[in-house]
Structure 1
Amino acid sequence: MRTFYLAILASALCYPPPSAAAAPSSPNEEAAQKSAKALKIIKAWRGDAQANPSDARTLHVVYWTPSDHPAAPAYRERLSRTMFHIRDFYAREMKRLGFGPLSINLDTEKDELLKIHMVTGLKPYADYKPSDGQRILKECVPSLEKAGITENKETILIFCNLSKWDAEKMLIVQDSPYYARGTHCEGCAWQVDSPILDPNDLDKKQPMLRDRQYGRISLGRYNSIFVGGVCHELGHALGLPHNRERQDERSAHGTALMGSGNRTYGEELRGEGKGSFLTLANGLRLATHPMFSGVTREMWSKGKATLTDIDIQAGDRLLKVSGKVKHAEGTPPVYAVLAYCDPAGRSNYDATTATAIPDAEGNFTLHCTDLQAGKSASLRLIALYANGDATSHIGSRTPYAFPYLVDKNGQANLDTWNLLREFLPLQSAIQRRNQKDIHKELTLLSKSQQPKASAIAKRMLARGHPHPSPEKIEAEVQAVALADTTPASAKVGYFRPTYNRLPRPDAILQSESQIFTSGIYAHAPAKHSYQLGGKWKTLSGQCGIAQGNSGSCVFVIKADGKTLWRSKTVKSGRLQGFKIDVSGKQNLELIVEDAGDGNGSDWGLWLEPQLKR
């Protein structure tokens, strides 16, 4: 792999020298050691740009209610208690992690209650659905702008009054949006309000009530779920992704807030568990969030460092990852590198984390434990910048994503990574959009000793489709990769029709931590048609979701207008195989649907589909 010389002396001065200290023996000791090193880098870069009250970033709270639905009783008092409780949670956790009592910044009125922007919706309750978050935000924008708040430059929390409480039946129904998106610069979270949302009731084991989604639960459990839900979704609005706690963290602190901690928040008050906590990975992210730190220096600047010399070694039920930060002159330094070990399935909810602070030369080493046995998985590396930026925030996209498999005994298999490593120079050239280097790297790869790498590169070098329409292929050709043939028509739901690669810099066809030599990119909704001319007997292959995407698709194969095969819903981390009889068929259609839940992240792939005589 390629090496480099870090020749920027000024940036190197920001980093602490290598330490010979013993490895930390507990999560708390680890946090104390790493937070101190990270803060040294951060403070060296900030210089005189310390927290300034005049630059304070504030969380703006909105109460939105449908036109026919009065605000829930005592909403100002309850939501004030809710947000003050959450503010205290973040402050307590950040202090425990070694960063001091940093937390969200809230506006209050003269009566010391939370400042809430009241907005009445344009339509009645029945006209809104849980998927209407953007619609509700749009209705809030005029009121926010009147208050001098620009929606896409601030962090906003919208409580939606879309619940119905029947006190006699003790029945609660929620119909609210409940999600979030955000970075260190801006974000929005949608929450539900109800008459029984109140952190003062977190300790209540009685009375029991019935929730349409969660069934029969105590009032305290209800508030663990929904006050905890506010805390969790606010985390997303601040730029925090999902992640699950490691075993050592679970033993010490309970459940990670950004994993399933939205359901365990405050459960310790009822003696039902250890409650929720912030992982060190998320604490490191929040340490430079402008709202938490009070420092806004270059907050809108994009970090431009790269991670190089990456090496991954499999140990006893762990991965050891090493590399080097290549700092970009004139941009904020990287003060931490995070690793997310994400087993297939469950989106990124069960991704465990490891953290490292670069040394003076930018070197870092991560030790990733708690590998899930019998799972394919992806290792993602994220760089954190001193201005609050990161390689990625709540999403899973990163140029540093590496697949691996874990056997039934918890041992990692890096065969896929070892193959993928050959493509890193190519991916770098694609990212730079340097056509000369792209062609050079593909030519080198086409001569690789790895048969699969060579086959992939040769297909990428080929211009257009190597073969004509299937009906026109010579009879002596007994088998052909469908992706190498010319379709009669093609349409995809995002980007453009692409064959034998992905239409993005990582390029390689990957799914469930496997690499495929041929395939058809088919982001839902997609339809590819081929003329068979009645000259082929079988079509076989697999279908799946592109690695790093969390969508869900349904794959359909039709011939001459009739459905021959229909998959079950295919989600990330799952592959479905097929072998279809197409004897005598004239027209073949490969269709990808969105599984009924929208087509976000639905990067469907037809993997190594092959026609045989």
Structure 2
Amino acid sequence: MLPLKSGLSLWMKLLGAQLVLVGLAFGGDDPEGARMLQEAQKQLSVYHAGQPESHRVLRVVYFVPSDRDPLANHEERLGRILEDVNGFYRDGFRRFGVEGRELALEKKDGKLVIHLVKGKLPASSYNYESGTATAAEAGEALKGRVDMRQDHVLVIYALCHKEADGRYVFNAPYYGGAVPSNEFSICHAADCELLDPLLLPEKNRGIVYTEHYYPRVEQTLGLFNSWYLGGIAHELGHGLGLPHDSGTVGEGRFGVSLMGRGNHHYREDKWGGRSPAYFSRGSALQLLSHPLVTGSDRGRGEKVHLCFDTLAFAEKNGVLHIDGSAGGTVPAYAVVAHVWPKSAKSDHGAISYPAVLDHGRFKLELTGLKQEPCHLKLTSLHLNGAESTEVFELEQDAKGGINIDKLTAEWLVDRAETAVVTKSPKVKEFVGDEVIASAPTPESARKLQALRSSLTPSAPSELADITEDQVFLSDVTWTDASVGWGKPARNSFWFDEKFQVSALLVLGGRFHDKGLYAHPPSSYGFAVDGKWKIFTATVGLRDGAATAASAVFIVRGDGKELYRSEPLRAGAREALSVDVSGVKGLELLTEGGGGNSNGSWAIWADPKIRR
């Protein structure tokens, strides 16, 4: 039975927020954004009405290396920092006419609760890539109080020291995301004794520091706090599921979007800056449904598969029109498209195109597109705080327009791939003969065929029975196989009922029919019995791997190392050709290339031996 008091309490909050929305409708400096957010809030209010109030909160962990003490005044400063960041989010919602929305912080007697963790190692043993190790240490130290696989956690590090020359040096992990944002999350940020919202107006005093991205920076304390407080707000946004988002085509007049490059402009108006960070429509629309904002656990953990029921692409006068419908096991309330050039080093500059659903349908008009290849990411936002994403490539056709056939092909493949990994009842329909025959491009037909083959994979051949001059090792039996995450997989990416990233092997944008999944540490062994001369492959991390992840690829013959790659990060790949003449036992291994192994989706693409 629903607890009456807590249920009524949450409903009154939702009702109160809705009444405020009515009074502020179309107000503020962004009427169109206000209409979007207010319509979304109405749908969220209906979905969460009557639910007991959630007790989930953002938990703050303060990590101190074994040979250091917490930085000066850390408790008071962190309290001010989290209140200031939460105030930024709250003001961001308020700009759209949505009152009373902010993150639920863990507090006791009105003060921020800070979980202190003393690291097992000295400061010199930790660096920017130590997030996996420090999270494990924190989870062990806080067992029974903080659950790294159930809670939303912000880890702040006392990994900053002052050199004799007065320069501060940061060696802390600084990133967030990579886990289901509505279920649990973790993000990392750095502390400094001079990090304090009270110092944002400071224009006379300065700081000199060294960190992961910058060997030497000289700034006023005001600008430094804009960067590092903005960094906490930005990485926390990632931890809560927000992608990079530089705002819509017209939002630039408000400043710089927090989830774009606004982390360097956080509250810069305090020290006289003219382009302060703001909360974009797309970011606000997505965060509005997060459980830490709604205060409800309804639907938490429910998966949302095959969310785009239909998608139709068309181009007119340089504008890309997307007409579609979105559903899922939990209803969708909005969609957001993000576009950024493929030539860009990152997606920080992604332009967003948000829309709220009307009876499950939406229309997007992507204006201002550049005449160059771009990435297109289409995300459905669901009432329980979950999201589902489809990724496409915008390329020009022979006439200089957008290649609509390629977009349609990607959609058909993505739909089929999602059906395969989720074991949807519609999977056979999506990889049927008619669909494959009508595929708009040859590559999409190959991918659809590979997905169909993954449903009933052929038994591997015995290597000793092969009479041809060459063979893919992913098509023959191995003597042993192990991987660091999941299970060994041939000719497809590994997935199961919980981990459902992909079924296809894609490396550097190129699809490979053949390959081995090899999350480090991994090992595949083959009895080649001295009958083969050359081993070739292309190695790297599958597209979509975590940016901080890396892997080293190793080939051994009869225990002797024949090849070792440099640590390869996301986006890097390497072709190799190794002489295996006389080798009887061939091993393909991977090792982690750094401190962070999360998302190290290593693959051996086209692993082939020739006589």
Aligned length: 562
Match of 1:526 in 2: 522
Deviations 1:140-173 (A, max 9, x none): 637x84xxx777665444544333236x733223
Q: 1:552 aligns with which of 550, 553, 560?
A: 550
Map 1:557-572 → 2, pairs under 5 A: 557-559=555-557, 565-572=563-570
Give the equivalent residue in structure 1 for 2:33: 31
CA distance in 1, matches of 2:323, 2:436: 28
Q: 1:198 aligns with which of 182, 196, 218?
A: 196
Aligned to 1:593: 591
| Residue 350 of structure 2 is aligned to residue 357 of structure 1 | no
Report the counterpart of residue 324 of structure 1 in structure 2. Answer: 325
Do residues 512 (structure 1) and 508 (structure 2) align?
yes
Per the TM alignment, residue 137 of structure 1 is displaced from its structure 2 partner at its CA by 2.9
Q: Compare 479-488 and 273-282 and name the one that shifted more.
A: 479-488
Confirm or deny that 1:492 pairs with 2:488.
Answer: no
Shift of 1:96: 1.9
Q: Report if the CA contact (8 A) 2:62-2:114 is conserved.
A: yes
For residues 559-580 of structure 1, what are the alpha-carbon distances to aligned partners after superposition, in whole Å with 9 as ceiling and x for unaligned?
Answer: 5555555444433334433455
Report the AA paired with residue 255 of structure 1: V
Equivalence for 2:103: 104
Partners of 1:246 and 1:576 in 2: how far apart? 36
Distance 1:209 1:483, change over 3 A: same
Are residues 533 and 494 of structure 1, via their aligned partners in 2, closer, same or farther at CA, if it must alter by over 3 Å? same
After alignment, is 116-125 or 85-94 more displaced?
116-125
Residue of structure 1 in register with 2:450 after alignment: 456
Report whether the alignment pairs 1:73 with 2:72: yes
- How far is the alpha carbon of 1:386 from its aligned partner? 2.7
The residue number in structure 2 matching 1:161 is: 158
Closer/same/farther in 2, CA of residues 315 and 588 from structure 1, 3 Å limit: farther
* Letter in structure 1 aligned against 2:77: R
Question: Superposition RMSD on alpha carbons, in Å?
Answer: 4.3
SS of equivalent residue, structure 1 residue 248:
coil
Amino acid across the alignment from 2:261:
S
Tell me, which stretches of 5 or more residues in structure 1 are unaligned? 1-23, 393-397
State the 1:194 CA deviation. Answer: 2.4
Q: Structure 1 CA distance, aligned partners of 2:574 and 2:564?
A: 10
Matched, 1:240 2:233: no
* Aligned equivalent of 2:312: 311
Aligned letter for 1:138?
A: G
User: Could you tell me which residue of structure 2 aligns to residue 15 of structure 1?
Assistant: none
Q: CA deviation at 1:403?
A: 5.0
Q: Secondary structure at the match of 1:40?
A: helix
Q: Aligned partner of 1:430: which letter?
A: V
For 1:93 and 1:409, the matched residues in 2 are separated by 42
Q: Secondary structure at the match of 2:300?
A: coil
User: Hey, what does 1:13 align to over in structure 2?
Assistant: none
Distance, in Å, in 2 between the alignment partners of 1:497 and 1:300 is: 30
CA distance in 1: counterparts of 2:340 and 2:93, whole angstroms: 25
TM-score under structure 2 length normalisation: 0.76
Q: Tell me how far 1:439 sits from its aligned partner.
A: 10
2:99 partner SS: coil
Structure 2 unpaired stretches of 5+ = 1-25
Instruction: Please list, as runs of the form range in 1=range in 2, the aligned pairs for 1:14-163 lying within 5 A after superposition.
Output: 28-47=30-49, 58-61=57-60, 63=62, 65=64, 69-100=68-99, 102-106=101-105, 114-117=111-114, 119=116, 121=118, 126=123, 129-130=126-127, 131=130, 132-135=133-136, 137-138=138-139, 141=142, 145=145, 155-163=152-160
Structure 1: how far apart are the matches of 2:556 and 2:523?
10
Paired residue for 1:384? 381
- Counterpart in the other structure of 2:302: 302
User: Over residues 382-421 of structure 1, what are the superposed CA-to-partner deviations in whole Å (9 max), with x where a residue is unaligned?
Assistant: 332334x2125xxxxx5x3445557999965566654444
Contact 1:455 1:517 in 2 (8 A): no
Secondary structure, aligned partner of 2:142: helix
Bigger Cα displacement from structure 2, 250-259 vs 33-42? 250-259
CA contact (8 A) 1:314 1:413 kept: no
Do the aligned residues in 2 keep the contact of 1:416 with 1:513 (CA within 8 Å)? no
Match of 1:473 among 463, 466, 471: 466
1:243: how far off? 0.6
Kindly indicate whether the alpha-carbon contact (under 8 Å) linking 1:403 and 1:514 is maintained by their aligned counterparts in 2: no
Query: Could you tell me whether the CA contact under 8 Å between 1:119 and 1:140 is conserved in 2?
Result: no
Q: Supply the distance in 2 between the matched residues of 1:55 and 1:426 (Cα, whole angstroms).
A: 36
Structure 2: distance between partners of 1:291 and 1:435? 33
- Give the corresponding residue for 1:19: none
Paired residues of 1:152 and 1:186 also in contact (CA < 8 A): yes
- 1:287 matched to 2:277? The reply is no
The structure 1 residue matched to 2:225, chosen from 209, 223, 226, is 223
The 2-side partners of 1:408 and 1:525 are apart by 45
Deviation at 1:370, TM superposition (A): 6.7
- The amino acid that maps onto 2:592 is D
Any conservation in 1 of the 2:256–2:277 contact (CA below 8 Å)? yes
SS of 2:605's partner is strand
Verify the 8 A CA contact 2:247 2:280 in the aligned structure 1.
no
Q: 1:445·1:457 contact (CA, 8 Å) conserved in 2?
A: no
Q: What residue in structure 1 maps to residue 262 of structure 2?
A: 261
Deviation, 1:245, is 0.8
* Counterpart contact for 2:451–2:504, Cα < 8 Å: no
Q: Deviations over 1:340-397 (max 9, x none)?
A: 446668676555432221112x1123344676776674x443332334x2125xxxxx
Taking the aligned partners of 1:415 and 1:511, their CA distance within structure 2 comes to: 22
Say if 2:246 and 2:261, in contact at 8 Å, map to a contact too.
Answer: no
Q: Alpha-carbon deviation of 1:284? A: 0.9
Q: CA deviation at 1:230?
A: 2.1
Amino acid at match of 1:227: L
